[in-house]
Amino acid sequence: MAPSTLSGRTSGSLTPGEKININKATAEELDALPGIGPAKAKAIIDYRTQNGDFKTVEDIQKVSGIKAGVFSKIVDHIKVTD
């Protein structure tokens, strides 16, 4: 059984069906998303800090470096509310 926390996980390793709230996620949690490394995780947090919470999951595409290809990999793993 996979642990319920993200600590100690390697990049891109989420459990099936697991979704991360992109408005609350830490850099480590964002880094676990497929196609998101430390630089993109930081960009997401920086964007969120400057612009406020994401209203929809599609809003993450406004972050520099996150285009349709990356979005298609993460869309099923992200949410904006709990």
Domain boundaries, the chain: 20-79
Handedness of CA 63, 77, 80, 82 (dihedral sign): negative
DSSP string, 30-79: HHTSTT--HHHHHHHHHHHHHH-S-SSGGGGGGSTT--HHHHHHHGGGEE
From the number of C-beta atoms within 10 Å of its C-beta (0-12, 13-18, 19+), residue 44 rates as: buried
Cα 48 versus chain centre, distance? 12
Residue 12 has a pLDDT of 58
Residue 40 has a pLDDT of 98
82 is written with which tokens? 């709990």
- The CATH T-level fold of domain 20-79 is DNA polymerase; domain 1 (1.10.150)
From first to last of its 82 residues, the chain has per-residue pLDDT tens of: 343 444 444 445 788 889 999 999 999 999 999 999 999 999 999 999 999 999 999 999 999 999 999 999 999 999 999 8
